[in-house]
A and B are shown apart, each in its own frame.
Chain A
Amino acid sequence: MASNPSNVFLQGGKFTEFGKPITLRKLFFSNPSVLPYNYRNFGAHISCSAIVEKLSPAAGQGELDSKSLTTRYLMTQKLPGQTEKPFSSTGKFGRFGGKFVPETLITCLSILEAELTLALHDTDFQEELATELRDYVGRESPLYYAKRLTDYYKNSEGKGPEIYLKREDLVHTGAHKINNAIAQAMLAKRIGRKSIVAATGAGQHGVATAAACAKLSLECTIFMGSIDIERQSSNVLHMKNLGAQVKAVDGSFKDAMSEAIRNWVGSLETRYFLSGTAVGPHPCPTMVREFQSIIGKETRKQAKEKWGGKPDVLLACVGSGSNALGMFHEFIGDEDVRLIGIEASHSASLSRGDVGVYHGTMSYLLQDEEGQIIGPHSIGVGLEYPGVSPELSFLKESGRAEFYTITDDEALDAYERLCRLEGIIPALEACHALAYLDKLCRTLDDGTKVVVNCSGRGDKDAAAVIMRKQDRLES
């Protein structure tokens, strides 16, 4: 029988429902509305099956101060040597993160933070979001055992890891971006905003935002770099078809992002900036990560169903980090799960960058000696961002996650390999993660469970792949 989280109380250190002790497992797995977004402290790493709390009557009215929040978390599994502060209004992950913004934006961001907290506490919002994710987005996405890929990586004795793909390519609009877009669009509507502004690189976030806005009857303006508009013309057509206005900006994604923020600052009361990436000033990285964390939550549940345990290795591509964090965040507290992020070799902020402040947050970024931003490049356009999420920077520095790089050619090979072996056309971004399997699988024990986040489908990349193939044949 499903339990209603609002009936669950904490008594004497145990969760109870109607006075009877209730296992968290029962609560968590039996109530789908609990699934998307349990409230959790931004900043403490709490295992997913831990917390659903009943708001105390006093705090039920609205404002939740940080003190009442910090006294609320019960099961915390801290990372060794963790320097992350508990929830506070600066949004820091160790020394990364923060709110490096002009004064005009500070109030706006604090309001956003408060609204977010309220929304995550509100069971009605959670249920509505869960319904949209199920019926509109098409969740839960399957955890697919890639048998032919697994066999391909087996060594001569027939031993090797088992490879599973988290099929984010099957969700509506074909990439994980929609998880965040629909949730933020619902939040914007809840706050009473009528118009959305967003920036997109590859176009996937633009399409997801345009779809969510069409559904919720919000006005939508997307800023896109002129270089990207040329490269991703099919996504531009999608956005226009969905009723969004696409505005060209000289340059690429980072310039589009700056222009979008400028546009937002111009009319803060009526517009909502829908960020697709886990970067930006607090609360953006946390918000995007929370909304994408549904990926990791489902993975945990599905792994339990499939093999009765947890994944051993999680592999995801890293542009700014939204899909990687969505997969990793759930498992950060599980020390026995390896987290591996793969960047594009010419856009490798974590592997080759230095710490600095960009777009309102402190994180690793690609900069020259004078601190000017170096324009990144990748065949996977969605990975082309000179910065990266502050949370990933923190995970790198604390040693919790590992980051490597993959070249364009290796990604292209992985694209063709997955097509031939599994009949799945992956996005070029996801191909970076798949390409790393070449190096990884040899080092793993027999039967290790590897879950790769197949973050999007690759139909949009077919034209680019044809051109590159022709170039390679000619050279």
Chain B
Amino acid sequence: MAAFSSASVTPKSTVLPSLPKPHRPSSAAYLQSPPLKFNNSYKTTSSTTPPPVFCTLTEHPMTSTEEELRPDSFGRFGEFGGKYVPETLMYALSELEDAFKSLSADQEFQKELDGILKDYVGRETPLYFAERLTESYRHPNGEGPHIYLKREDLNHTGAHKINNAVGQVLLAKRLGKKRIIAETGAGQHGVATATVCARFGLECIIYMGAQDMERQALNVFRMRLLGAEVRPVHSGTATLKDATSEAIRDWVTKVESTHYILGSVAGPHPYPMMVREFHAVIGKETRKQALDKWGGKPDVLVACVGGGSNAMGLFHEFVDDKDVRLIGVEAAGFGIESGKHAATLTKGEVGVLHGAMSYLLQDEDGQIVEPHSISAGLDYPGVGPEHSFLKDIGRAEYFSVTDEEALEAFKRLSRLEGIIPALETSHALAHLEKLCPTLRDGAKVVVNCSGRGDKDVQTAIKHLKL
């Protein structure tokens, strides 16, 4: 069954007509626990770490923008998001939602997740003051912003992807699932999924586009070494979007035994919310560390955006802090005007892809345009619905950066700080070139260093001719 093709949809007004409540299977835990509201208490200056996962779902559909419930009970962020899936998957999705809600209230689960994040993944990751990078952006009069890197590259497996993989696999175990499936583009999410499946002893199947498998042969071997089965996908353009569609197809047929670990904040509700919550630990730690380091909040947060998971992980904590600027950086490939890019929020239009309504790169017929970026992780024609929402309400700003600029930033961070960033991260770092001259002296900029670049050194050397 093909994934839904997108259609150009004119944006509706933000107030939705009230819809009848969807049928929910009765669940004792669900009925007994009160709707969980967003809890602000941990924003005070206590040194205790908040629990890793919060569930912000409430019972009430979104009625006004002041409420800003993200998402509402239908899984919508404004008009974006939702659950555009075949009937067979509706039960699985609401089961997932219920499980997630009950687990975020479960102290045992929180403790277990906390322990794994600490001992297995290696959290908390440092907030590192990049001294030489800061100096390079200083004006001649000695003024300039202070640049901090959130070191997600130090996580186990070398990217932020593991935060979500660990949370979801624990969830899957609670649900009694024995089989895990996932899609992957660059291979990082595949490796993270294979890693956690090995750790917890679950069967693991990864869908990967045949073209991607050729480009990322080493990651394919790593996945196989970790005990996962890697299935090539030959349909369509044999890249990430086709792998995602194939994974969804698999899930539809084996829904009782299988859990689908989606790698990003895209897909049908509750995935955007769940993946965001599992990554939100990034933002929570940043808040605590910022308080420790300079006694305040960051002024600007910068992150690269492919599907949007690392950006949401950093931003989510600070969305309600209006004095914190949120900046997402997408891949402009060969340039926005060239047509070979992955700048969904800049050049895309609203449509439905992989179960959610969001911005995406489509032609006049509503067919998906093949994106391009030197970094495989940003090579996704869609974007998470929450990012589309944040862009529309003006809470977050989105820019794009070309392959060349990203490669320059890759080289710059390696030479100045001795940290080799992933090419995906390099896009966020490249944006500093345009951003820093506009900031006041002493502004605190936190860049999410979402992964390490060991996997990209070959590509970079080829292009940079070192």
Contact = CB atoms under 8 A, between A and B. Distances in A.
A424 B418 CA distance: 24
Given A134-B126, A215-B418, A142 B226 contact: no
Interface in A174-194: 174
A430 interface: no
B120 A242 contact: no
B418 A212 contact: yes
Contacts of A213: 418
A144 B117 CA distance: 11
A135 B420 contact: no
Contacts of B132: 215, 217
Interface in A437-465: 459, 462-463, 465
B395 interface: no
A249 interface: no
B458 A237 contact: yes
B454 A238 contact: yes
A223 to B, nearest CB: 19
B414 interface: yes
Contacts of A112: none
A211 B245 CA distance: 41
Contact of A465 (B199, B225, B417): B225
A143 B119 contact: yes
Nearest to A237: B457
Interface stretch (A9-17, A286-294, A382-390, A414-422): A414-422
A211 B419 contact: yes
Contacts of A462: 218, 221-222, 225
* Majority secondary structure, B binding face: helix
Interface stretch (A97-105, A164-172, A277-285): A164-172
* Majority secondary structure, A binding face: helix
B126 A135 contact: yes
A214 B413 CA distance: 9
B28 interface: no
Contacts of A234: 454, 457-458
A240 interface: yes
Given A134-B126, A135-B128, A425 B419 contact: no
B420 A238 contact: yes
A423 interface: yes
B290 interface: no
Interface string A26-70: 000000000000000000000000000000000000000000000
B156 A424 contact: yes
B466 interface: yes
B102 to A, nearest CB: 25
Given A210-B418, A422-B199, A237 B156 contact: no
Nearest to B415: A243
Interface in A402-427: 416, 419-425
A423 B420 contact: no
Given A138-B154, A241-B460, A241-B466, A423 B221 contact: no
A136 interface: yes
Contact of A135 (B118, B129, B201, B411): B129
Interface string B382-400: 0000000000000000000
Contacts of B225: 416, 419, 425, 462, 465
A420 B227 contact: yes
A466 interface: yes
Nearest to B124: A138
B125 interface: yes
A142 B118 contact: yes
Contacts of B195: 423-424
B259 to A, nearest CB: 17
Given A148-B199, A170-B122, A241-B466, A214 B156 contact: no
Interface of A: 134-136, 138, 141-145, 148, 167, 170-172, 174, 210-215, 217, 234, 237-238, 240-243, 416, 419-425, 459, 462-463, 465-466
7 contacts: A135-B128, A142-B119, A170-B154, A172-B154, A211-B419, A238-B457, A243-B414
